[in-house]
Structure 1
């Protein structure tokens, strides 16, 4: 892949990631404010944003056709991401006493590069 197309793809990934982050944070905040404990709000928000993310990554970022096989593999790529996010969120909130509404933001910034690599590997598998 040429450098410019890789850069363009990464920029689309970042744009979709920002939209997905907004989806996650809106769901997380709403659920937290409705009374869910912050970890339950986090997991629920993650799942909602995750489904949206799959289709945005297929259509917008990697420009590949979504398939059932890729959709079933996609959650596996997020196991490391979800684990890291949850652990970092726990550390920031319970150990370092950060605010529950602010703590998810730096957590997402830390995990983006890892998520890009894993997602690209799964979705572009044998297509490019």
Structure 2
């Protein structure tokens, strides 16, 4: 079985489109947009820790936004010249899953806004927090 077939079996159609084909979910549609509990946001594909919940903020852009990553070994950067504009794509360094983009208009102390697709992450609540659903 190829790696592509493995991802197709593991991920929903929307997760595959976003994570493996660098798609984007519709703004204000993601399940993690309004998540407010303490915990960690993990890569949907490989469970690498990506963003701590205490770094999340409401940027009003329609996607979960963070001002810092959990571990610099897990989030990578590359130029994205699609859509006739220059952006910086962020991806999981462990499995190459597309996460979203980073912009230089975030809050202090980093000034970064990691704009991330909900479907490219799972949320692991801090122990003691109830999992809703």
Same fold (TM over 0.5): no
Q: TM-score range by the shorter chain?
A: under 0.3
- Relative to total residues, which structure has the larger helix share, 1 or 2? 1
Name the larger-Rg structure.
1
Q: TM-score normalized by structure 2?
A: 0.27
- Relative to total residues, which structure has the larger strand share, 1 or 2? 2
Q: TM-score normalized by structure 1?
A: 0.27
